[in-house]
């Protein structure tokens, strides 16, 4: 426009724009910005500027401050004039969030951080890779360093070095009496796999790498004790320290009653001993203190005195048995041989008379022999079983006779005892055994031994007791139940036997050899194995993994006739062997015992002894073996049992240094 004067830029470009009041908004609402003007220039102006304060007049003639020069509004295409030195305008770049550091430095920081991360990663990964697939460095087991080794190498090193450290015996203190149990007697074993399983291995974590580089890792060895084996060892030890209580009793020496007064005893606490000895082995303390528990008899001295008087009266004269005008006398010697006084559980001694044994010698005087009952049985004639039928009969009532004689002994009175007859059916009838299929040999087994030793007497006596026993279908045969406790009265003698890994002299020792022969006969006949315990040491005269220990009442041999046929046991013996033959009906063409290779050999220890009772042994290493029973029919395997694993102890080599 021609008349228009020059346009002056306002000091504040928005001075003409009305601002909202406080009653409507705290922030200015700016609208209608000129073209090319961005809202960003108001980023820091969230509140209206404060009202200018009135300036005070200068004091002492000082000059007033210079007013701030207004900045012109920039025009497109024109470069704004630079602000005076030290001044800043609203067009300057706002401060950066990182403290105003220059752009180059901001670009360097992420790079430095990445380099640091790479360095840290390499510091972890390089040693981690080197340590992987091995036991963490610095790992020790009871002082044995296995760090940096592979698992296989660590296992070999532990077996070679740590097993020797753990192979320390435990001295058992039993009331001041010392006994030593060797690690092999307790079944002590270093569990290498479980021990190494505690050690860190594989690809290590950062914490494990740091620990490997700066410290050590100590782990405790895992040691196991075979509880069943230690229990047998403790049982053997108890045989030498137990002082069983003596019940009062009255026995006859000839015709003279001999009274024994009751006496207290002490017995080893078996379960506590196993626990204490186990702890001693695991702690490596070397000493275990076990205790004997008092054991009191049930009978009283007064009861023994009363029984002795009854015994003297019992053999003062014969006892006469009568029936239908017939009579038989029981001589005082026969009375003494068949009369016993047993505890009644209430402190007294009760007389018991074995009427059946007495009638075996005198019944023929009272009853015709043709009337006596007979059990059905089999006899082997010309190599074949022949049935001997049963027979009904009549006989003296043995139970009534035993009751009447016991009453006479206890109360006295008339020494003439009337007897009664009773029907006496056979215990085994012909019908029970005729159709049992006992027609052929199904298995047999023989073991040998050196002659002329006390144990031979026991082996042969057990064979006599088992010979002719019939096991019906479904029945379970128990050797201990059939034979009972081995006693001198039953024909047994004291002999050597290994009990719990120790050679002891016990009543009936050596009978385990007969048990082994019977076990193998039942094994090869295919009958079910119910219970058997392997021997502690392997003997060359028995097949490995197929022997059977026998001890009354703890260790038994049981097998079940799981066939549809009866089983007749025939046992025989010579001065050097015992044989068992089982007669029945064959179910299998062949039964094989598949034996694995022997493994896990354990060396035997060597020791010397100057004891007068020392018995030298050559020593043999222990080993483990598996045996599997395989059943064959028509040339094909029809089934097999689960394998039976037997672990034999090493038997120490003993050199006796004492004078013979």
- Could you tell me the CATH number of the domain that includes residue 625? 2.20.230
Domain boundary among 434, 462, 494: 434
Question: Do 167 and 247 fall within a single domain?
Answer: yes
Spell out the SS3 assignment of 164-232: HHHCCCEEEEECCEEEEECHHHHCEEECHHHHHHCCCECCCCHHHHHHHHHCCEEECCCEEECHHHHHH
Domain with residue 393: its CATH number is 3.10.20
d(CA 6, CA 2): 11
d(CA 616, CA 298): 42
Question: Do 236 and 321 fall within a single domain?
Answer: no
If 0-12 CB within 10 Å is exposed, 13-18 middle and 19+ buried, where does residue 488 land? exposed
Q: If you ran DSSP here, which 8-state letter would residue 41 be given?
A: G
Residue 487 lies in a domain: yes
Q: What pLDDT sits at residue 210?
A: 66
Question: Do 326 and 419 fall within a single domain?
Answer: yes
Question: Do 381 and 397 fall within a single domain?
Answer: yes
**Distance of alpha carbon 129 from its chain centroid, rounded?**
40
Residue 47 lies in a domain: no
Nearest to 408, CA basis, from 337, 314, 342: 314
Q: What pLDDT sits at residue 122?
A: 61
Inter-axis angle of helices 355-362 and 398-411, nearest 10: 110
If 0-12 CB within 10 Å is exposed, 13-18 middle and 19+ buried, where does residue 44 land? exposed
Q: What pLDDT sits at residue 77?
A: 47
Q: What pLDDT sits at residue 565?
A: 93
Residue 171 lies in a domain: yes
Q: Which residue has the tokens 């502690």?
A: 536
Number of structural domains (the chain) is 4
Residue 222 lies in a domain: yes
Question: Do 474 and 449 fall within a single domain?
Answer: yes
What count of other Cβ atoms lies within 10 Å of the Cβ of residue 54?
6
The strand pairing partners of 645, in sequence order, are 626
d(CA 660, CA 658): 6
What is the value of pTM for the model shown? 0.60
Are the CB atoms for 511 and 550 separated by under 8 Å? yes
Q: If you ran DSSP here, which 8-state letter would residue 246 be given?
A: B
- Residue range of the domain that includes 224: 132-297
d(CA 550, CA 536): 11
Residue 338 lies in a domain: yes
d(CA 249, CA 352): 12
Residue 200 lies in a domain: yes
Question: Do 350 and 456 fall within a single domain?
Answer: no
If 0-12 CB within 10 Å is exposed, 13-18 middle and 19+ buried, where does residue 149 land? buried
Query: Do you know the residue count of the chain?
Result: 660
Question: Do 160 and 248 fall within a single domain?
Answer: yes
Residue 30 lies in a domain: no
For the chain (length 660 residues), average pLDDT per consecutive 10?
48 49 47 55 51 52 52 51 52 50 68 74 62 71 79 81 75 86 80 77 65 70 80 85 88 90 90 87 81 90 93 93 90 92 88 90 81 81 85 87 94 91 81 85 94 92 93 94 87 87 85 95 96 91 93 92 94 94 94 94 85 81 95 93 92 78
Residue 16 lies in a domain: no
Question: Do 389 and 489 fall within a single domain?
Answer: no
Are the CB atoms for 494 and 506 separated by under 8 Å? yes
Are the CB atoms for 466 and 483 separated by under 8 Å? yes
Domain boundary among 529, 553, 587: 587
Are the CB atoms for 322 and 418 separated by under 8 Å? yes
Question: Do 483 and 362 fall within a single domain?
Answer: no
d(CA 206, CA 123): 10
Q: If you ran DSSP here, which 8-state letter would residue 367 be given?
A: S
Q: Is 328 helix (H, G, I), strand (E, B) or coil?
A: strand
Question: Do 230 and 319 fall within a single domain?
Answer: no
Question: Do 145 and 286 fall within a single domain?
Answer: yes
Strand blocks (E) in 362-434: 377-381, 384-388, 393-396, 416-418, 421-424
Are the CB atoms for 568 and 582 separated by under 8 Å? yes
Domain boundary among 277, 297, 317: 297
Question: Do 264 and 337 fall within a single domain?
Answer: no
């Amino acid at each position: 426009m021609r008349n228009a004067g020059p346009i002056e830029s306002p000091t504040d470009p928005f001075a003409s724009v009305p601002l909202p009041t406080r009653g409507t908004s705290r922030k200015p609402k700016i609208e209608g910005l000129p073209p090319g003007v961005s809202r960003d220039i108001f980023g820091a102006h969230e509140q209206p500027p404060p009202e200018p304060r009135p300036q005070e007049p200068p004091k002492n003639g000082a000059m007033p401050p210079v007013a701030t020069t207004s900045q012109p509004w920039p025009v497109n295409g024109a470069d704004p004039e630079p602000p005076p030195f030290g001044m800043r305008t609203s067009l300057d770049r706002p401060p950066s969030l990182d403290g105003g550091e220059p752009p180059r430095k901001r670009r360097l920081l992420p790079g430095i951080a990445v380099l640091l991360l790479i360095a840290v990663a390499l510091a972890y990964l390089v040693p981690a890779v080197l340590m992987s697939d091995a036991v963490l460095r610095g790992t020790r087991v009871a002082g044995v360093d296995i760090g940096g080794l592979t698992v296989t190498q660590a296992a070999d090193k532990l077996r070679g070095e740590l097993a020797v450290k753990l192979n320390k015996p435990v001295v058992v203190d039993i009331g001041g009496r010392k006994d030593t149990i060797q690690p092999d007697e307790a079944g002590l074993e270093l569990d290498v796999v479980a021990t190494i399983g505690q050690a860190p291995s594989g690809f290590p974590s950062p914490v494990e790498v740091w620990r490997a580089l700066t410290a050590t890792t100590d782990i405790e060895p895992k040691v196991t004790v075979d509880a069943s084996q230690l229990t047998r060892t403790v049982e053997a030890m108890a045989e030498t320290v137990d002082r069983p209580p003596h019940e009062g009793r009255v026995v006859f020496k000839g015709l003279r009653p001999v009274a024994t007064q009751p006496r207290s005893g002490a017995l080893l606490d078996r379960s506590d001993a196993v626990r204490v000895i186990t702890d001693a082995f695991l702690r490596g303390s070397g000493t275990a203190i076990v205790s004997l528990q008092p054991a009191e008899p049930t009978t009283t001295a007064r009861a023994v005195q009363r029984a002795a008087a009854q015994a003297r009266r019992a053999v003062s004269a014969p006892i006469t048995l009568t029936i239908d005008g017939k009579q038989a006398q029981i001589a005082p010697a026969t009375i003494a041989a068949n009369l016993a006084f047993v505890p009644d559980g209430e402190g007294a001694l009760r007389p018991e008379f074995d009427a059946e044994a007495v009638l075996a010698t005198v019944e023929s005087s009272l009853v015709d022999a043709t009337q006596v009952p007979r059990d059905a049985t089999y006899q082997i004639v010309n190599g074949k079983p022949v049935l001997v039928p049963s027979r009904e009969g009549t006989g003296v009532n043995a139970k009534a006779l035993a009751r009447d004689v016991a009453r006479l002994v206890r109360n006295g009175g008339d020494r003439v005892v009337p007897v009664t007859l009773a029907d006496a059916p056979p215990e085994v009838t012909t019908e029970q055994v005729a159709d049992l299929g006992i027609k052929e040999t199904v298995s047999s087994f023989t073991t040998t031994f050196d002659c002329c030793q006390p144990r031979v007497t026991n082996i042969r006596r057990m064979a006599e007791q088992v010979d002719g026993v019939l096991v019906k279908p479904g029945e379970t045969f128990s050797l201990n139940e059939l034979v009972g406790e081995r006693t001198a009265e039953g024909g047994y003698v004291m002999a050597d036997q290994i009990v719990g890994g120790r050679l002891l002299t016990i009543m009936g020792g050596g009978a385990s050899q007969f048990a082994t022969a019977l076990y193998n006969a039942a094994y090869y006949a295919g009958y079910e194995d119910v219970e058997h315990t392997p021997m502690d040491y392997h003997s060359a005269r028995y097949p490995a993994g197929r022997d059977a220990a026998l001890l009354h009442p703890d260790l038994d041999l049981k097998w079940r006739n799981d066939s549809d046929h009866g089983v007749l046991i025939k046992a025989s013996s010579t001065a050097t062997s015992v044989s068992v033959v089982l007669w029945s009906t064959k179910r299998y063409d062949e039964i094989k015992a598949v034996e694995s290779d022997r493994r896990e050999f354990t060396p035997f220890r060597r020791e010397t002894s100057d004891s007068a009772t020392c018995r030298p042994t050559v020593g043999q290493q222990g080993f483990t073996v598996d045996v599997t029973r395989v059943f064959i029919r028509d040339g094909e395997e029809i089934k097999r049992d689960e394998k039976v694993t037997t672990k034999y102890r090493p038997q120490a080599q003993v050199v006796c240094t004492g004078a013979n």
